[in-house]
């Protein structure tokens, strides 16, 4: 079966602009989580969606937002981009449920560079 | 709160063993282990659940001490393919919070 698909793979934006990243989960998976990865910082949790509802949010400013559609595809948006937003953004899909007790599958990520 | 991993980096020769530790200041429901190779997505290795249940690959072993809120990943007879960054994650309330990773390098 198809894996998690993230688009675009690479993106270059200018400070102040906004960007939208897309994630298509594995068919049947209803939970999508987003992570920001920067060198030395590991995987920083952004938010998690399940059945179009945001269930959890990490400690990121309000410039970071997301949504999930009825087909479980998810988007995340970053407004007023800053240089520090340059990172690899990963999404992970899983079956979902109340607690994370199943395997999560990661996409290849979107490499965002802010100049 | 982000779990703490140790060591931050380790270099092994092929065939040697390694242990990667993960600890949390919060009570753990589950511990998740992933490996990420350079330029690739993180890949699932194992989940350890409160109560002792484990789900994962046969060649990977790990322990989960609920009282101490710690987990350890055991890599035995390491192979070149084990190289990568290992992340532990703590699961609660539908989210997984990952540590900053342990970089493992295997030399022939």
Q: What percent of chain B has pLDDT over 70?
A: 94
Measured CA to CA, the distance from residue B11 to residue B1 in angstroms comes to 28
CA angle B96, B100, B103 (to 5 degrees): 120
If 0-12 CB within 10 Å is exposed, 13-18 middle and 19+ buried, where does residue B82 land?
Answer: buried
d(CA B28, CA A110): 30
First-last CA distance in chain A: 37
Residues of A in contact with B32 (CB under 8 A): 100, 104
- Using a CB–CB cutoff of 8 Å, tell me whether A39 touches chain B: no
Q: Closest Cα partner for A107 from A50, A51, A37?
A: A37
Quote the pLDDT of residue B66: 84
Distance CA A55, CA A19 (A): 22
E strand or H helix that includes residue B84:
strand B84-92
Q: A with B: how many residue pairs have Cβ under 8 Å apart? A: 75
* Interchain CB contact of A105 with B (< 8 Å): yes
Report pLDDT for B91. 82
From first to last of its 115 residues, chain A has per-residue pLDDT tens of 679 999 999 999 999 999 999 999 999 999 999 999 998 778 999 999 999 999 999 999 999 999 999 999 999 999 999 999 999 999 999 987 666 677 889 999 999 999 9
Q: Is-contact B79 A84, C-beta < 8 A? A: no
Contact A42 B91 (CB under 8 A): no
Q: pLDDT tens digit string along B27-68?
A: 778 899 999 999 899 999 999 887 777 766 666 789 888 888
Specify whether the CB–CB gap between A81 and A64 falls below 8 A.
Answer: no
Q: Residue B25 gets which letter from DSSP?
A: S
- B82 phi and psi, to 5 degrees? -80, -10
Look at the alpha carbons of A71, A92, B30, A62 in this order and tell me if their dihedral is positive or negative.
negative
How far the first Cα of chain B sits from its last, in Å, is: 37
Q: What is the spatial distance between Cα A26 and Cα A93, in angstroms, rounded to a whole number?
A: 7
Please answer yes or no on whether A101 and B94 come within 8 Å at the CB atom.
Answer: no
Contacts of B9 (CB under 8 A, 6+ apart): B102, B103, B104, B105
Within its chain, how far is the Cα of A1 from the centroid? 21
């Amino acid at each position: 079966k198809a894996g998690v698909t993230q688009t675009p793979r690479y993106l270059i934006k200018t400070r102040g602009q906004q960007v939208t990243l897309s994630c298509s989960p594995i068919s049947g998976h209803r939970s999508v989580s987003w992570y920001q990865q920067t060198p030395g910082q590991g995987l920083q949790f952004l938010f998690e969606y399940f059945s179009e509802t945001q269930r959890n949010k990490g400690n990121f400013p309000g410039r970071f937002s997301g949504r999930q559609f009825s087909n479980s595809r998810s988007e995340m948006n970053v407004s007023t981009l800053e240089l520090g937003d340059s990172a690899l953004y990963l999404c992970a899909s899983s079956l979902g449920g109340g607690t994370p007790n199943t395997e999560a599958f990661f996409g290849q990520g979107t490499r965002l560079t802010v100049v | 709160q982000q779990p703490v991993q140790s060591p931050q980096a380790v270099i092994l020769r092929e065939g040697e063993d390694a242990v990667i530790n993960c600890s949390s200041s919060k009570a753990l429901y589950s511990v998740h282990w992933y490996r990420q190779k350079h330029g690739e997505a993180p890949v699932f290795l194992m989940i350890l659940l409160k109560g002792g249940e484990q789900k994962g690959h046969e060649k990977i072993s790990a322990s989960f001490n609920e009282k101490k809120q710690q987990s350890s990943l055991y890599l035995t007879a390491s192979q070149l393919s084990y190289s990568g960054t290992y992340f532990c994650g703590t699961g609660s309330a539908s989210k997984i919070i990952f540590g900053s990773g342990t970089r493992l390098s295997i030399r022939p």
